[in-house]
Amino acid sequence: MSEAPSTHARGWQRLLMLTVAGVVVVHSAVVGLWLSPDNPIRESVGSSFLASYVNPYFQQSPRAMDPGVQYADEALQIRVRIRDESGEPVESEWVDLTAAAIDRKGWVPTRMDLAARTIAVNLNAAIQDLPGDLRPQVQEEVPDDELRNLEVALQDGGATPVETARYFASSFMAVQFGTLYATGLWDGTVEQVQVRVGLRRVPDHAEREDVRLADEDFEWFDLGWRDAIRANEAAQQAFDQYVER
């Protein structure tokens, strides 16, 4: 790809910072509602929804004040189906986007490098929200024209409208992020994206003195193949330069 002018370099930084800032605003609003006393807004959102978001990530233990301790880790991987110049479909290997961000900027990433991990956190929470017997349905390959059927099936199976909407919003963001990233990384036309999210936790308090988070294996959850979700030219140019850094 040809080198873009320096103004575009600033453009991709602004775009990614705005994306991460938007996620931070939503996260802060949810946590703020969780901490606030009962009020009409909190009641309209629902205490169960707030608890499902906050509890998995903010439960405290006697060691919670130790700044060097991390109890949970999330990861985001993608693989894609690309049509190359010859017109033949090619399936890529899995690419770990969270690991790539760490490699790019070290263990203290910038806000822009946190986007993949933030998406993984939101998508993991949305999947955990779904009733367990419905999760295999989101692991199936679903083309765009059948996504509405999946939405109906989830709600008919017992998922609430809030849980369903949260899953679709999180998975949409993951697929679009994967599409933009893969388009900047590989030649050819990205036609489909498969997203994989990972979650690992340190065991309960009795074992935490002897087990580090890095000793634990990720538990992976694969969504089914989804059609690529493209963005405008400016957004793609931003990702092209981000991937090439």
Mean predicted confidence (pLDDT) in 68-73: 61
Mean predicted confidence (pLDDT) in 41-66: 51
pLDDT digit string, tens, across residues 179-238: 999 999 998 999 999 999 999 887 766 665 667 777 788 999 999 999 999 888 888 888
What are the domain boundaries of the chain?
A: 6-60+72-244
The CA-to-CA distance between both ends of the chain, in Å, stands at 13
Which token pair is 102? 């760490």
pTM beyond 0.85: the answer is: no
Question: Has residue 152 got a pLDDT over 50?
Answer: yes
The DSSP bridge partners found for residue 73 are: 200
Distance CA 144, CA 141 (A): 10
Least confident of 16-20, 54-58, 80-84, 127-131: 54-58
Mean predicted confidence (pLDDT) in 147-155: 95
| pLDDT score recorded for residue 147 | 93
Do residues 59 and 67 touch, judged by C-beta distance below 8 A? no
Distance CA 103, CA 112 (A): 13
